[in-house]
Each structure stands twice: as structure tokens, then as C-alpha cells.
Amino acid sequence: MRIDKFLAETGCGSRKEVKKLLKQGIITVNDQVIKDAKYQVNEWTDRVAYDEEPLSYQKNFYYMLHKPQDVISATEDKYDETVIDLLSDEDFREDLFPVGRLDKDTEGLLILTNDGQLAHRLLSPKKHVDKEYFARIAGIVTKEDIALFAEGLTLKNGEAVKPGQLVIDSVDEAVGESEIRLVIQEGKFHQVKRMFEAVDKQVIYLKRLRMGALYLDEQLELGAYRPLTEAELALVETKGIG
């Protein structure tokens, strides 16, 4: 790997910025000052230091984010705050992206990574990855709705969706609302909302609790994030892909 690419990927700055660092003579490889941006390093075995501070290379990054409402699942947007905007300057990388999407008004678990292969495994319909949601519904959810969801619904526009596992947590008949959990394996546009519209009910609050075997950390405040633990990453890479 070129030394300028190594420095950029370890967070020392853009390619242009790290070339200035190299010219200053403060980058060493195996205790030798390197000024040539094209110099080749072995990112796993060479000892690279920035102003005598050792640099360690990490290829892939994985974060668990508790997405709040009014933030969009995108890397950039001209008008709205994105999930990438929630990252600190220290953690920001240009190659990070959200795995899948949550609607602007939906909260809950979202993975941010630069690992495209992992994202594909989690999102591919062939992998049958469970996605579990909690929702508050305007309307009384019934056993009949559970049966309809289990069979697979036809949406208002005629589009068919695969079966989902619907569980009723509570029903408040006085205010005409229900709290439910729903497990689906697809990720169609506004799917949960459209599934309830198909049975003449409305989602008024939606939160993703789980993706595969990975559960949202209850200790994470809205808008907060943290790196996945090794155990969590193992779950996502094995059990999490169905």
C-alpha cells in the first residue's frame, strides 16, 4: 500500500494533507523518515509513526447507531442532517455508509460501516435476515391481523410482501391504539407502514430493535453510537446473516 493511502486511511488527513506531512519529515516507517508519497508499506507488519506516535491500520469499521427521528439514512444531503453527520470528527471517514435505511421519522438500530461485503450479506433478500421492529399503531391490532401478516399481505398498490411475524404487546381500547413487534425479512420502501395500511391501520411510531442476531444496545442514547464489539461483529458475520 502507498504510504499516502495508508496515512489517509488511518485518519491523518486527506491525500493532499498527508503529502504535506510527508514533506515535513515527521512520518517514519521502521524508524526511517519517509517523504515519498509513493513509498510502499506493508500495513500489517511495518511500523509506521506520525511524529513518533505509532499508527495502526484498520481496514474495516463497524458502528452501532441509535438513529433518532429527523435524521436521514444517507451519506450526504443538501437539506437534512444525515446519520454520517452524527459521527465525531475523529470517527468520520469518507467511505462509511449506513447498512440499509430507516425512514426519516423512524428510530432505532442502524449499522454504519465501510465493509461493502458485510452490507450485501445483511441486505440481500437471499440471506433472509430478520429485522425486528417495535411500533405504536393507531387502531386495534387483532388476531386476524396476526394471521394476515403470517400469510403474506398484498399492499394497497397491489404489491405482495412476504409473511411477517406479528406480536401484540398491548392494546389500549380507550384511546384506540396498540403496541406491537413485527419481524420481517424484506426491506421494501416504507414496508412496515404500508403493511399496516393494508389492514386499515396507521403506524404512529416505529423503532428497529434488531437486525439478524444484533440487538440495539439499550444503553445507547438517541443519536449516540459506538463500535461493534468483537462478539457483536461475530454475530453479524455468522448468525446475523441467516
Write the pLDDT tens digit of every residue in 68-99.
999 999 999 999 999 999 999 888 888 899 99
Residue 93 lies in a domain: yes
Instruction: List the CATH number of the domain containing 25.
Output: 3.10.290.10
pLDDT band at 229; cut points 50, 70, 90: very high
Give how many domains the chain has, as a whole number: 3
- For residue 10, the enclosing domain spans 3-54
Instruction: List the CATH number of the domain containing 149.
Output: 3.30.70.1560
207 shares its domain with 135: yes
Residue 242 lies in a domain: no
69 shares its domain with 112: yes
Q: What is the pLDDT of residue 238?
A: 65
- 103, 105, 130, 217: the active-site residue: 103
Residue 69 lies in a domain: yes
What's the mean per-residue pLDDT of the chain?
A: 92
* 2-26 average pLDDT score: 89
Percent of the chain surpassing pLDDT 90: 74
172 shares its domain with 191: yes
Q: What is the pLDDT of residue 56?
A: 82
Is the predicted pLDDT of residue 240 greater than 50, yes or no?
no
* Mode of pairing for the β-strands spanning 107-113 and 177-184: unpaired
196 shares its domain with 137: yes
**Residue count (the chain):** 242
Q: Is 70 a known active-site residue?
A: no
Instruction: List the CATH number of the domain containing 78.
Output: 3.30.70.580
Q: How far apart are CA 54 and CA 213, in angstroms?
A: 35
* 166-177 average pLDDT score: 97
Residue 39 lies in a domain: yes
DSSP 156: T
* Mode of pairing for the β-strands spanning 107-113 and 202-211: parallel
Q: What is the pLDDT of residue 8?
A: 86
* 210-232 average pLDDT score: 95
Rg, Å, the chain Cα set: 23
87 shares its domain with 101: yes
pLDDT band at 241; cut points 50, 70, 90: very low
Residue 114 lies in a domain: yes
Q: Shortest CA distance to 201 belongs to which of 170, 169, 183, 179? A: 179
